[in-house]
Amino acid sequence: MAGALALLAALTAGIAFPAGAAAGEPTGQDAPKVDLVLDVSGSMRARDIDGQSRMAAAKQAFNEVLDATPEEVQLGIRTLGADYAGDDRKEGCKDTAQLYPVGPLDRTEAKTAVATLAPTGWTPIGPALLQAADDLDGGDGSKRIVLISDGEDTCAPLDPCEVAREIAAKGIGLTIDTLGLVPNAKLSRQLSCIAEATGGTYTSIEHQDELTDRVNELVDRAAEPVVTPVATEGAGSCDKAPVLRSGLYTDREEFGQQRWYRVELLAGQELRASVSVAADRAVRPDHGVLMRAVTVHGREIVRGEATGSGRTDVASTGLRYPKPEIDDDDSGKPAAETVCLGVTTSFSADAGVKTTPGLPLELTVDVVDGPDDAADVASFGLGRGWWLLGALIVTGFLAGLVWGWLSRWRVAVWRTN
């Protein structure tokens, strides 16, 4: 799933959104926000990172990151396990605090706050993520949580993976990246699961310079212009479905569910749509996704489908539909058409795997001017290959005639001799 985000983003590459009208287009009005969430539990005392403690390595990395943070990024720091050193688990699982508020960065003030940290208590990752999401609330700029931990969450049954899925289900465009300071299989699985739920990345760290470089990279990435998907909610039938314009959208779809969306097309326009469904939890190997374009009366126009075997974390498909140039006789204007887009999934999970919230779905819709040539519209399934196929047929027919004529001439000459 670490590559899920890259694949989903790649689906939008090359899409031209109408100026000022595209859903999900970055406005550039709000600054990007980053919340660094640092584990300050007792295990951070261990001295196994380049001869120094994990805490010392984290402090050094944070100081270098603070120096390098771009001016346009609003950065904050949240801790977990930094204050309560007792044995009361209930109290230990409340131990998360905002060390430095998300906002314009005062580097000296932030470094002074980091210098006060000392390894102390528990590892309440789930509660810390919930609070970090609130730290980043507001604005339409990019939002990123960078979680750095050396141990698993100690506050079950609040599963941090479920927390991450709930955050992703809110559709606020928040990405969680995780860094593990110990090459531990159980820690790796948990941190990977948290990152995968929001399309983030997991990185295993063993050296201080690796930590510095990776956190710097993630903070810089937050400053890069991105398209933030717009949250939408598909309906159970086309007549109740939301109308979508060109843009990038996110939704959640339950296992085996069908969701409907609507797109308005004028004559001569072409609809290009694609959908990706990410398996952000354990699913059975055989699964698939189907996208159908149908009329409001239920007649199927075109479909796209894909199946998966469990080797990848995303199932994707797409379709194209160019509407022919037909005028409305009553108004003299190009006739409009409502196209119903249906997305059906066939994912299933073993017993014990939660099916809510639904699997994350990303939908791209692009409405562009269609082909100029009516013949191209009639043969949109083959595109220009239609003409190549016709040319090959004619060429083959003529070549057959010539070859037959030459063969008969050679036989006639041989008999004459």
Name residues of the chain where pLDDT drops below 70: 1-29, 226-228, 309-312, 325-334, 371-392, 394, 396-397, 400-417
Cα–Cα distance, 241 to 250 (Å, whole number):
14
Burial of 377 (0-12, 13-18, 19+ CB in 10 A): middle
What architecture is domain 26-223? Answer: 3-Layer(aba) Sandwich (3.40)
- State the fold for domain 230-370: Jelly Rolls (2.60.120)
What is the per-residue pLDDT across 111-140, written as a single tens digit (0 to 9) for each? Answer: 999 999 999 999 999 999 999 999 999 888
Alpha carbon separation from 243 to 23, 173, 230, 370 (Å, rounded): 12, 21, 13, 20
Query: Is-contact 363 343, C-beta < 8 A?
Result: yes
Q: Which residue has the tokens 């932030």?
A: 110
**pTM confidence score:** 0.64
Which H or E element spans position 273?
strand 269-278
Give the phi and the psi of residue 109 in degrees, each rounded to 5: -65, -40
Any idea where the domains of the chain sit in the sequence?
Answer: 26-223, 230-370
pLDDT value, residue 156: 80
Q: How many CA atoms lie within 13 A of 218 on its CB side?
A: 29
Instruction: Find the farthest-apart pair of alpha carbons in the chain and give their distance in angstroms, rounded.
Output: 112
Query: Is-contact 39 151, C-beta < 8 A?
Result: yes
pLDDT value, residue 12: 37
What is the per-residue pLDDT across 57-67, written as a single tens digit (0 to 9) for each? Answer: 999 999 999 99
B/e letters for 10-44, b = 16+ CB within 10 Å, e = fewer, are ebbeebebeeeebbbbbeeeebbbbbbbbbbbebb
pLDDT value, residue 263: 95
Cα–Cα distance, 335 to 327 (Å, whole number):
5
pLDDT value, residue 279: 81
The closest of 20, 45, 73, 40 to 245, measured between CA atoms, is 20
What is the per-residue pLDDT across 72-91, written as a single tens digit (0 to 9) for each? Answer: 999 999 999 999 989 898 89
